[in-house]
A and B are shown apart, each in its own frame.
Chain A
Amino acid sequence: MKALFLAYSLEHDSETRTWAATGKDRHGRIFGVGSGNTQEAAVQALKEAVWDSLAADAADGVDWTGTLRQRPPKDGHLTFDGADLLPIRLRLARAQARLKQADMAKRLKITQQAYAKLERPGANPGLRTIADLEHAFGRELMAWA
């Protein structure tokens, strides 16, 4: 699966002594902002904000991953790899198929709770599970880029 990238810039706020990371999509528009006591914390917060944004819209069948970059920019950037993107693509595929989590769970012969975990950040399904998901959706998920 191809990774996608988001450029960001960092700013230090002397008033609060915290950092802010602001993401910019491939068109130069702001996409996400995160803050933290360190640069690393701010960048992690930015990644969580972008993930939540993509996931929320994917649940409505709207795919904004095309606004991320396909090549890493030279400066500071976030990487969204297959593990980051698969839960979003699952939400998108399910929304476009107009299925509920319970419907997918039934197709996969797992509990709804077990399926719900697959759509959360940090999900790391094995190859068998991915193959089962692709069969259940009738479409490739890992090659979808």
Chain B
Amino acid sequence: MGSAFMKGLELVHLALVHGWTDAGPGANHPYILKKPGFRSVPVRDKIQNRFEAIGILKQLGIPKAAWPDKLR
């Protein structure tokens, strides 16, 4: 995983549990998460730091109680 803080796939799996769907790759991101009424949320393979991970989780509207332990 190199210097990645965490894998993007971990966030994608969490998003799927909370009603998001993976619409497949975009021009710059392997995962584009979609949910009706929300803006799409792109996710990279490797999340570089906690701020990137938290920013994604907030856009997904996932409650803090459901976040991975390392982010709470």
Task: Contacts A18-B49, A33-B55 given; indicate if A57 touches B39 (C-beta within 8 A).
Answer: yes
B52 touches A15 (CB 8 A): no
- Complex: how many Å from CA A11 to CA B52? 10
- Complex: how many Å from CA A34 to CA B49? 10
Total A residues in contact with B, Cβ cutoff 8 Å: 29
Task: Contacts A52-B28, A56-B32, A56-B34 given; indicate if A35 touches B40 (C-beta within 8 A).
Answer: no
Interface string of B24-56 (1 = CB under 8 A from A): 001111001010000111101001111110011
B1–chain A nearest beta-carbon distance, Å: 12
A55 within 8 A of partner (CB): yes
- Complex: how many Å from CA A30 to CA B38? 12
B23 within 8 A of partner (CB): yes
Task: Contacts A52-B27, A121-B27 given; indicate if A16 touches B42 (C-beta within 8 A).
Answer: no
Residues of A within 8 A of B26 (CB): 52, 55-56
B59 touches A15 (CB 8 A): no
Residues of B within 8 A of A120 (CB): 27
Contact pick for B52, options A34, A51, A56, CB 8 Å: A34
A53 within 8 A of partner (CB): yes
B67 within 8 A of partner (CB): no
User: B26, B27, B48, B59 — which one has the most chain A CB atoms within 10 A of its CB?
Assistant: B48
A20 touches B49 (CB 8 A): yes
What residue in chain B is nearest A53 (Cβ atoms)? B40
A48 touches B29 (CB 8 A): yes
Contact pick for A48, options B3, B28, B55, CB 8 Å: B28
What residue in chain B is nearest A120 (Cβ atoms)? B27
A56 touches B28 (CB 8 A): no
